[in-house]
């Protein structure tokens, strides 16, 4: 995965699963970058089809999809500038998924780290869990995306997308733009506060391990004050030797747009760092939370945004689907 200098006009696509309240890993690793890079060429997709690979109640999925759209808007994405849409509203995503399933092979999908992890936790896992990265590749290729801003855990899926695009182009003629992943400098992999060797995650998390965007201030403070660090007492950025403390420094620097090293220089004691970090996180999330509740209280506006997004997304994605289908010989 390369890092390009973003020039403000590139075609961007990224996605997020509507699988519960976002945590600060999703926010700092992805959504904060989406806000910064939004432009008329940016497409942000709530991947509800991907969420079907999880055990999720239909009513819960419906609510979480709306929550997710509202959270993206509350975080600062302007739907009149960028396109925000639900994946299932743009039917060519599922269709493109099929075309690419006929290009991908079983071996490469069964080697995906996320597949292996998730499959080992589910008895009789769904086929969708295996083919998930192919659907994701389709999400990206349908928009001729040049850049895909994601957290570090999506690197392997991005590589597969590039591989499938190149394989398709070689076999059927130049059809797809080959996208480049973009991972932020800080907080590309926010770690669990209790088990700093594991990434912060919605699915497996210790009770105090993840900070969710809409946690109460007292909860945020408790989680940060109890975050696991080490006993040597020196405030220094060293992810290998001091994973817990370095994670806090990364979170701090991402919220205040500095570097973890800069933040480390400002503190001598873990307790002071944690206290200020808790305050910083609470004050940074407060306006997002307030805006989220406003948006969630206005279902008509949310419906309007979703319908508007679907129309814009379809207008871009459908011609690309037709191009790919025709290249493969479909009439």
Judged by CB under 6 A, the residue of 12, 14, 73, 251 near ligand TYM is 14
Binding mask 272-311 for ligand TYM (x = CB under 6 A): ----------------------------------------
Task: Sheet containing 12-16: give its strands across.
Answer: 83-86, 42-46, 12-16, 147-149, 180-182
Tell me if 68 sits within 8 A of 309, measured CB to CB: no
Minimal distance in Å, beta carbon 84 to ligand TYM?
14
CA pair distance 75, 189, nearest whole angstrom: 19
Which of the ranges 98-106, 188-196, 285-293, 311-319 carries the binding residues for ligand TYM, by CB under 6 A?
Answer: 188-196
On whether the CB atoms of residues 56 and 17 are closer than 8 A, the answer is: no
Candidates 148-156, 247-255, 295-303, 323-331; binding stretch for ligand TYM (CB under 6 A): 148-156
If the CB atoms of residues 15 and 244 are measured against ligand TYM, the closer one turns out to be 15
Identify which of residues 199 and 312 has a Cβ nearer to ligand TYM in the complex. Answer: 199
CB of 274 to ligand TYM, least distance (A): 19
Per the CB < 8 A criterion, the answer to whether 183 and 146 are in contact is no
- Interaction of residue 139 with ligand TYM, rule CB under 6 A: yes
Q: How far is the CB of 233 from ligand TYM (least distance, A)?
A: 27
Residue nearest to ligand TYM (CB): 29
| Rounded Cα–Cα distance for residues 249 and 32 (Å) | 17
User: 202: which 2 tokens?
Assistant: 């919605």
Q: Give the CA distances from residue 84 to residues 53, 108, 132, 252, 313, in Å, rounded to whole numbers and listed in that order.
A: 22, 31, 21, 28, 8
Q: Does 148 participate in binding ligand TYM (rule CB under 6 A)? A: yes
* Contact string 22-41 vs ligand TYM (x = CB under 6 A): ---xx--xx-----------
140 binds ligand TYM (CB under 6 A): yes
Q: How many residues bind ligand TYM (CB under 6 A)?
A: 25
Residue tagged active-site, from 32, 116, 202, 275: 202
93 contacts ligand TYM (rule: CB under 6 A) = no
- Quick one: 203 or 261, whose CB is closer to ligand TYM? 203
Cβ of residue 91: shortest distance to ligand TYM, in angstroms? 16
In order, the DSSP letters of 36-61 are HH-STTEEEEE-HHHHTTS---HHHH
Instruction: Give rounded-to-5 percent helix, strand, coil for the chain.
Output: 55, 5, 35
Q: Which of 199, 223, 242, 274 binds ligand TYM (CB under 6 A)?
A: 199
CB burial of 28-56 (b: ≥16 within 10 Å; e: otherwise) equals bbbbbbbbebbeebbbbbbbbbbbbbbeb
Listed ranges 132-140, 211-219, 265-273, 278-286: which one lies at the site for ligand TYM (CB under 6 A): 132-140
199 noted as active-site residue: yes
Identify which of residues 137 and 273 has a Cβ nearer to ligand TYM in the complex.
Answer: 137
Residues in the chain: 331
Of the candidates 193, 196, 152, 210, the residue with the CA atom closest to the CA atom of residue 23? 210
Known catalytic residues are: 118, 199, 202
């Amino acid at each position: 995965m390369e890092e390009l200098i973003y020039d403000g006009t590139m075609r961007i696509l990224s996605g997020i699963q509507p699988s519960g309240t976002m945590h600060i890993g999703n926010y700092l690793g992805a959504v904060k970058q989406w806000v910064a890079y939004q432009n008329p060429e940016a497409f942000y997709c709530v991947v509800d089809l991907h969420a079907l690979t999880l055990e999720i109640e239909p009513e819960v999925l419906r609510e979480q999809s709306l929550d997710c759209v509202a959270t993206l808007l509350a975080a600062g994405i302007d739907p009149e500038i960028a396109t925000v849409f639900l994946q299932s509203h743009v039917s060519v995503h599922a269709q493109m998924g099929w075309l690419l399933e006929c290009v991908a092979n079983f071996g490469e999908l069964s080697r995906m780290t996320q597949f292996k992890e998730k499959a080992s936790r589910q008895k009789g896992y769904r086929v969708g869990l295996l083919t998930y990265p192919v659907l994701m590749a389709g999400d990206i290729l349908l928009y001729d995306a040049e850049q895909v801003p994601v957290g570090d855990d999506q690197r392997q899926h991005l590589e597969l997308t590039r591989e499938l695009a190149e394989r398709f182009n070689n076999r059927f003629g130049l059809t797809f733009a080959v996208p480049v992943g973009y991972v932020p400098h800080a907080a590309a992999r926010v770690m669990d506060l209790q088990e700093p060797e594991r990434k912060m995650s919605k699915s497996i998390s210790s009770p105090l391990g993840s900070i969710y965007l809409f946690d109460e201030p007292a909860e945020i403070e408790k989680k940060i004050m109890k975050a696991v660090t080490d006993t040597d007492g020196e405030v220094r950025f060293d992810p290998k030797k001091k994973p817990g403390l370095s994670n806090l420094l990364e979170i701090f620097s991402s919220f205040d747009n500095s570097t973890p090293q800069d933040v480390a220089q400002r503190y001598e004691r873990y307790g002071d760092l944690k206290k200020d970090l808790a305050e910083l996180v609470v004050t940074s999330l407060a306006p997002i939370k307030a805006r989220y509740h406003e948006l969630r209280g206005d279902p008509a506006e949310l419906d309007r945004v979703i319908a508007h997004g679907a129309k814009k997304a379809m207008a871009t994605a459908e011609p690309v689907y037709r191009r790919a289908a025709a290249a493969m010989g479909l009439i």
